[in-house]
Structure 1
Amino acid sequence: MTDLPPLDQAEVRRRQRSRALVTALILGGLVVLFYAISIAKML
């Protein structure tokens, strides 16, 4: 990684954390959706 000022590094970390949270929420939503579809097909 390039030598960024500490403020820029903090901003990069904040963006990475935000992106990871969004990705986790989308993945969790897909898991719930697939589970619900599977249960609906069994009924």
Structure 2
Amino acid sequence: MTQDNDLMNAREGKPTGETLKLTPEQEKARNKRNIVIAWSLVGFMVAVFAITVVRLSQNAAGAGV
């Protein structure tokens, strides 16, 4: 086994001390993107919940409960 393939020695994820300063435009774009992702996730969760409720109510009505 070589050290090159050892996952424990990978540099990825190790802190390097480097930082990146975003411009105000980049920060606004990131914030807007995060909000869109959050609302998309909420919409997906609502859709899954609604579909589940409808399917369960159809099964309950069909079973004579």
Q: Which residue matches 1:30?
A: 46
Structure holding more helix per residue: 1
How many pairs were matched up?
38
TM-score by length of 1: 0.84
* Alpha-carbon offset, residue 20 of structure 1: 0.3
Task: Give % identity.
Answer: 13
TM-score by length of 2: 0.56
Structure 2 segments unaligned to the other structure (5+ residues)? 1-21, 60-65
Higher RCO, 1 or 2 (CA under 8 Å, sep at least 6)? Answer: 2
Q: Could you list the runs of 4 or more consecutive aligned residues of structure 1 that deviate by over 6 angstroms after TM superposition? A: none
* Alpha-carbon offset, residue 23 of structure 1: 0.2
Letter in 1 for 2:45: G
Structure 1 segments unaligned to the other structure (5+ residues)? 1-5
Superposition RMSD in Å? 1.2
Decide which structure has the larger Cα Rg and report it. Answer: 2
